[in-house]
Amino acid sequence: TQLLEQSPQFLSIQEGENLTVYCNSSSVFSSLQWYRQEPGEGPVLLVTVVTGGEVKKLKRLTFQFGDARKDSSLHITAAQPGDTGLYLCASREAIGSNYKLTFGKGTLLTVNP
């Protein structure tokens, strides 16, 4: 099972600031997903990255997949209180014809108004 390390574990910032969180592994990802989980809710898929060097944007969120497909980052521009939540990265591991998700421990982001 692939081990995913996320950093930082906790991040508390003021509204309007920029931030970057990271997801790393010692082995190559076939693909990587980012999720956001709000308190009392299940994780919600934000993006899937597949190709090394890939950059995807989702409004103020920018996702980057490392060239060697061993690391990924999530950058948020001008953070808002609504961005508060647990950001999880996950890799997919084959189980038969399907995939199970292996998650990192997450980065808990708090954006203060």
Partner 1 sequence: GAGVSQSPRYKVAKRGQDVALRCDPISGHVSLFWYQQALGQGPEFLTYFQNEAQLDKSGLPSDRFFAERPEGSVSTLKIQRTQQEDSAVYLCASSLDGAGNQPQHFGDGTRLSIL
Site for partner 1 contains 45 (CB under 8 A)? yes
Site for partner 1 contains 58 (CB under 8 A)? no
Nearer to partner 1, 21 or 90 (CB): 90
Q: Nearest Cα to 10, choosing from 76, 81, 84, 77?
A: 84
Nearest distance from C-beta of residue 76 to partner 1, angstroms: 19
Region near partner 1 per CB under 8 A, out of 13-21, 42-50, 62-70, 71-79: 42-50
Give the distance from CA 113 to its chain's centroid.
Answer: 23
Binning the chain into helix, strand and coil, the percentages to the nearest 5 are: 5, 55, 40
Nearer to partner 1, 64 or 107 (CB): 107
Site for partner 1 contains 99 (CB under 8 A)? yes
Q: Which residues are at the interface with partner 1 (CB under 8 A)?
A: 4, 40-45, 48, 88, 90, 92, 94-106
